[in-house]
Amino acid sequence: MAATAPIFDLKLPRGLDFTLQNSPTPEKYLIETMPGGVALFDYNNDGLLDIFLVNGGHLTRPMQLPEKFDRANPRYWNRLYRQNKDGSFTDVTEAAGLATAGAGNYGMGVAVGDYDNDGFADLFVTSYGKNVLYHNNGDGTFTDVTEKAGVAGGGWSVSAGFFDYDNDGHLDLFVTRYMEWDTKHSKTCGGAWRTYCPPVEFPATTNLLYRNRGDGTFEDVSQKSGIAAKKGRALGVAFADCDDDGFMDIFVANDGMQQYLFHNNGNRTFTECALESGAALSTDGKPLSGMGTVFQDYDNDGKPDILVTVLPREIYALYHNDGAGLFSARSLEAGLGALTAGSSGWGVGLEDFDNDGWKDLLVAQSHVLNNVEAIDHSLHYMEPPLLALNRNGRFEHADSGITIPVAGRGLAFGDLNNDGWMDAVLTVLGGHPLVLMNRGGKRHWLAIKLRGTRSNRDGMGARVRVNRQTRFATTAGSYLSANDKRLHFGLDDSNTATVEVLWPSGTRQTLKDVRANQFLEIREVEQS
Amino acid sequence: MRHSVLFFCLALQSISPEGARHMQAGVEAHKQGRVEAAIAEFRKATETDPEFAEAFLDLGEELMQFHDYGAAVAPLKRALELQPDLDAAHLQLGYALLSLGYASEAIPHLERVHALEALGIAQIETGQYQEAVANLGAALVKRPNDPDLLYYLGRASGLLSKRAIDTLVSSHPDSARAHQAMGENYFVLRQMPQAEQEYREAIRQRPEIPGLQLELGLVYAGAAQWDKAEGAFRTEAKRQPGSAEAAYHLGTALLQQGKTHEARAELERAEKLQPDMPETLYSLGKAASLDGDLLLAEKSWTRVIALEKETSLAAQAHFGLASLYRRQGKISEAQREMQEFKRLQSAIEPPRSEPK
């Protein structure tokens, strides 16, 4: 049953004049259908969410070596938009020192985290090429510290995320990489219609894990942590402690193969266990075209579940956390069969858009192939985003308010206007981002900002329970994108809430009779 | 060649000594696999004894062995001029003409010797599909699993079917059956909106035709419009309560929408109507598992494995059992099923450049 009124209004706020330049070519270079990321974060700590958008680059026909992508041209810059008090945005890219994206870097995604615990959110931008870590100087500017930090990586990086895998109070960094591919060794597939090749046509590659030494530098621990022991074709990544052992686990959405669940052994190593855990394949044991992913509790049982967006006829995969590190595929039971069998999903989030106490589903959609309609008349290249409201653990199609089909890719969530209702920003290949402003309503809500003391400063990885709902603090998840670090909870008709926080340090805190409809900062108690 | 050698032995007395020597040398060369030498000897025999039909036949046969069908035609024709009842020459000439694309000319020779497979192929080439189906079908009785025969029979049947449909569409373009046929065509081409339109028109004209709603449902299912598919399958199942296929498709449409209890009921009905259909049993296992009836799920998937053994559906059933046992905390059983799943997966789909 559809909701009676649309949930969002589609806005293009004044000043937000970004166009995602992916530069499609007849050569069908795979990178051109994959960008770009979006981050919602408050870079200047003025209480308003700002927007960072990753751009692709210019592709020539054919590409000349060395690859340059024309990133010095403002048309291809990544952009930072500062939100003004009236809801408009100002492009502060140059002033913030973010105009330089690197000549050989075709932009992909973005991760946000305060890696040096200085109270200012830092940016990590992934690329086909080299990745860049921008340190937030706290004065409205950023400094490229990639070289010093040692996180440039290489190859084709896609989604990334900050998390504290060893609970040492410093945010570490996980970077997914798609495959071994470059423009020189690109090829096309298809018969009469030239298409992008499926991922299996190119060799798999490893993901990257960087351990934060706490001194502004990172150690590449991909090998010794066990992460690099598994090659894949990763596009999405999300973090949560799936077996309640106090250590964050990693879920990686792989394209055209099994998914990976890296269980954190608690000794700075990981064991890949998706197949044995039941989170690797479809209900029918088939590989998935995993793209975006989210690792949150959709059915309010306190355990983080996994949702993966995929290509048509596969059904978005929903792995229910059965406890003890085991999962079962619940896509059909949750209603995703009818909702998603004909769609292609990228960015994804489980957020409570109607504040009824259940996390809803929003997905950026569009097929990979921009000529898919010529090949298969039953499929569509551009699709409107999918909004499905959660009714006691079952998703039902709802009117998002956005009916125009777009080539959606990145998707980030946050409360842009601080009204207590979750908004979203969706990136569109070759187009402007869609800003989905929640129309709001009468239900109550609570937004929580964590302030770690013994744990990392933003409490990333904390498990926060509000009444019957649970969220894991993270900015990661979705596809290529980074979300508002504040934790949002719909309270339905409750005026108050009980809040329980389990910090990464192991500290537990409970707050009772917390007033609804407020932004609450919770500071980690310094002694247990 | 053996027949020819036999004829040769019987006819030795009507051939010159020199011709007989060449024939003998040709036979020896043939036995030793020296095809070119055999051709040369048989050719000399035809020159020495130009009225000796067997010499021409042997030359033609040897040229056929050399895949020189063009060169084989003349001596074979000459053999038949000299001895019109020489069946071996008819057979070889039929093959040669067919190989050269002269199907019409080949047919009388192949008919005479009842070379059913070659005759059927020639009839496909000349558009005699009905006759081709009959002859290839008869040939298949003698060689039931011959891949070439199966291929040509399938091709002949398909062409026959296409011709009938073409006739239908051109002679009765607005009939329900013509719209049904067009719907089938669009469905194959994955042009779902056009397929839907054609089926809807067919149903409007003759709603009583069995299978129309089922086919419309498949169009909706192909476009992932599961609610509409459910409606069409339900109508078909109501109209044909004895159709296991309608019950199966209705069950899968319901399952796809997460209506697990209803799906299970329909799939159980399909299984009752037509027992031991692996696809039905597999889906029944899924529906039962989602519906919480783990015993029925286990029973259904175990039966799939018994029926299918080494197929991808069996692999899926092992995967389902692994999930089911994991949920029940039966870890060793889950591991066993997962091992079987992995084994079958790698046997069925060997990885290409897959990860370590």
Checking if the pLDDT of A192 tops 60, the result is: yes
Give the closest residue to A379 by CA, choosing from A392, A388, A390, A370.
A370
Residue B122 amino acid letter: A
d(CA A158, CA A125): 9
User: What is the reported pLDDT for A457?
Assistant: 97
Which of A232, A278, A333 is facing B355, going by the closest CB pair? A232
pLDDT above 90 covers a percentage of chain B that reads 86
Checking if the pLDDT of B318 tops 80, the result is: yes
Query: Are residues A342 and B223, on separate chains, in Cβ contact within 8 Å?
Result: yes
* Mean local confidence (pLDDT), A325-352: 94
User: What is the reported pLDDT for A528?
Assistant: 52
Question: Which of B185, B219, B227, B256 to probe the A interface (max A CBs under 10 A)?
Answer: B256
Torsion of CA A82, A86, A88, A94, to 10 degrees: -30
- Residue of chain A nearest B351, judged by CA positions: A200
Q: A275 contacts in B (CB within 8 Å)? A: 338, 342
Query: Are residues B257 and A334, on separate chains, in Cβ contact within 8 Å?
Result: no
Which of A230, A338, A378 is facing B190, going by the closest CB pair? A378
Which of B224, B316, B327 is facing A312, going by the closest CB pair? B224
- On the 0-12 / 13-18 / 19+ scale of CB atoms within 10 A, B327 is middle
Which of A312, A329, A338 is facing B256, going by the closest CB pair? A338
Is A422 within 8 Å of A400 (Cβ atoms)?
no
Query: Are residues B355 and A204, on separate chains, in Cβ contact within 8 Å?
Result: yes
pLDDT digits (tens, 9 = 90+) for B65-95: 999 999 999 999 999 999 999 999 999 999 9
| CB within 8 Å of A444: residues ≥ 6 apart | A355, A420, A490, A491, A492, A493, A494, A495, A516, A517
Complex ipTM > 0.85: yes
Checking if the pLDDT of B355 tops 90, the result is: no
Which of B223, B258, B335 is facing A378, going by the closest CB pair? B223
Is A259 within 8 Å of A237 (Cβ atoms)?
no
User: What is the reported pLDDT for B354?
Assistant: 42
Q: Is A332 on the interface with B (CB under 8 A)?
A: yes
Region B5-164: CATH code: 1.25.40.10
pLDDT digits (tens, 9 = 90+) for A131-190: 999 999 999 999 999 999 999 999 999 999 999 999 999 999 999 999 999 988 888 888
Checking if the pLDDT of B222 tops 50, the result is: yes
Q: B286 contacts in A (CB within 8 Å)? A: 283-284, 332
What's the mean per-residue pLDDT of chain B? Answer: 92
What's the mean per-residue pLDDT of chain A? Answer: 95
Checking if the pLDDT of B352 tops 60, the result is: no
Checking if the pLDDT of B2 tops 90, the result is: no
Checking if the pLDDT of B7 tops 60, the result is: no
pLDDT digits (tens, 9 = 90+) for B152-205: 999 999 999 989 989 999 999 999 999 999 999 899 888 899 999 999 999 999
Instruction: Spell out which chain B residues touch chain A, with contact meaning CB-CB distance below 8 angstroms.
Output: 189-193, 222-227, 255-258, 260, 286, 290, 315-316, 318-320, 323, 326-327, 335, 338, 341-342, 345, 352-356
Residue appearing with tokens 């081709």:
B132
Q: A329 contacts in B (CB within 8 Å)? A: 323
Say what the pTM is.
Answer: 0.84
Q: A255 contacts in B (CB within 8 Å)? A: none
- Residue of chain B nearest A315, judged by CA positions: B256
Is A35 within 8 Å of A55 (Cβ atoms)?
yes
Torsion sign across C-alpha atoms A323, A327, A329, A334 = positive
pLDDT above 90 covers a percentage of chain A that reads 88
Q: A231 contacts in B (CB within 8 Å)? A: 355-356
pLDDT digits (tens, 9 = 90+) for B232-243: 999 999 999 999
Joined together, the tokens standing for residue B73 give 């035609």
Q: A333 contacts in B (CB within 8 Å)? A: 258, 260, 290
Can you say whether residue A362 is alpha, beta or left, with left for phi > 0 and alpha for psi between -120 and 50 degrees?
Answer: beta
pLDDT digits (tens, 9 = 90+) for B228-286: 999 999 999 999 999 999 999 999 999 999 999 999 999 999 999 999 999 999 999 99
**Which of A:259-318 have CB within 8 Å of B?**
275-276, 278, 281, 283-286, 312-313
d(CA B175, CA A208): 63
Query: Are residues A341 and B260, on separate chains, in Cβ contact within 8 Å?
Result: no
- Residue of chain A nearest B227, judged by CA positions: A338
A439-475 burial, b if ≥16 CB within 10 A, otherwise e?
ebbebbbbbbbbebbbbbbbbbbbbbbbbbbbbbbbb
User: What is the reported pLDDT for A427?
Assistant: 98
Q: B267 contacts in A (CB within 8 Å)? A: none
**Which of A:49-108 have CB within 8 Å of B?**
none
Question: Which of B186, B257, B332 to probe the A interface (max A CBs under 10 A)?
Answer: B257
Query: Are residues A229 and B356, on separate chains, in Cβ contact within 8 Å?
Result: yes
CA dist B211 → A98, A231, B239 (Å):
63, 48, 9
Give the confidence band of A67 by pLDDT, cuts at 50, 70, 90: confident
d(CA A85, CA A14): 12
B98 Cα to chain A: minimum distance (Å): 32
User: What is the reported pLDDT for A193?
Assistant: 85
Checking if the pLDDT of A326 tops 50, the result is: yes
| CB within 8 Å of A190: residues ≥ 6 apart | A375
Give the closest residue to A463 by CA, choosing from A395, A391, A522, A389.
A522
Which of B189, B257, B290 is facing A338, going by the closest CB pair? B257
pLDDT digits (tens, 9 = 90+) for A468-503: 999 999 999 999 999 999 999 999 999 999 999 999
* Mean local confidence (pLDDT), A421-443: 97
Q: A282 contacts in B (CB within 8 Å)? A: none
Checking if the pLDDT of A59 tops 70, the result is: yes
pLDDT digits (tens, 9 = 90+) for A225-271: 999 999 999 999 999 999 999 999 999 999 999 999 999 999 999 99
Checking if the pLDDT of B13 tops 80, the result is: no
A159-173 burial, b if ≥16 CB within 10 A, otherwise e?
bbbbbbbbbbbbbbb
d(CA B106, CA B265): 58
Give the confidence band of B145 by pLDDT, cuts at 50, 70, 90: confident
Query: Are residues B258 and A275, on separate chains, in Cβ contact within 8 Å?
Result: no
Query: Are residues A334 and B258, on separate chains, in Cβ contact within 8 Å?
Result: yes
Query: Are residues A257 and B223, on separate chains, in Cβ contact within 8 Å?
Result: no
Q: Is A200 on the interface with B (CB under 8 A)?
A: yes
Which of B224, B257, B316 is facing A285, going by the closest CB pair? B316
* Mean local confidence (pLDDT), B308-330: 94
A259 Cα to chain B: minimum distance (Å): 12
Question: Which of B188, B316, B325, B330 to probe the A interface (max A CBs under 10 A)?
Answer: B316
- On the 0-12 / 13-18 / 19+ scale of CB atoms within 10 A, B137 is middle
Residue B11 amino acid letter: A
Give the closest residue to B132 by CA, choosing from B152, B104, B112.
B152
pLDDT digits (tens, 9 = 90+) for B284-297: 999 999 999 999 99
Query: Are residues A376 and B190, on separate chains, in Cβ contact within 8 Å?
Result: yes
Q: A394 contacts in B (CB within 8 Å)? A: 258
Q: B297 contacts in A (CB within 8 Å)? A: none
Q: B353 contacts in A (CB within 8 Å)? A: 200, 202-204
User: What is the reported pLDDT for A127?
Assistant: 97
Checking if the pLDDT of B353 tops 50, the result is: no
Least confident of A242-246, A463-467, B45-49, B187-191: B187-191
Which of A276, A286, A333 is facing B290, going by the closest CB pair? A333
Is A208 within 8 Å of A227 (Cβ atoms)?
yes
Number of A/B CB contacts below 8 angstroms equals 89
User: What is the reported pLDDT for A166?
Assistant: 97
Give the closest residue to A37 by CA, choosing from A147, A137, A158, A145.
A158
Query: Are residues B354 and A257, on separate chains, in Cβ contact within 8 Å?
Result: yes
Q: Is A406 on the interface with B (CB under 8 A)?
A: no
Give the confidence band of B10 by pLDDT, cuts at 50, 70, 90: very low
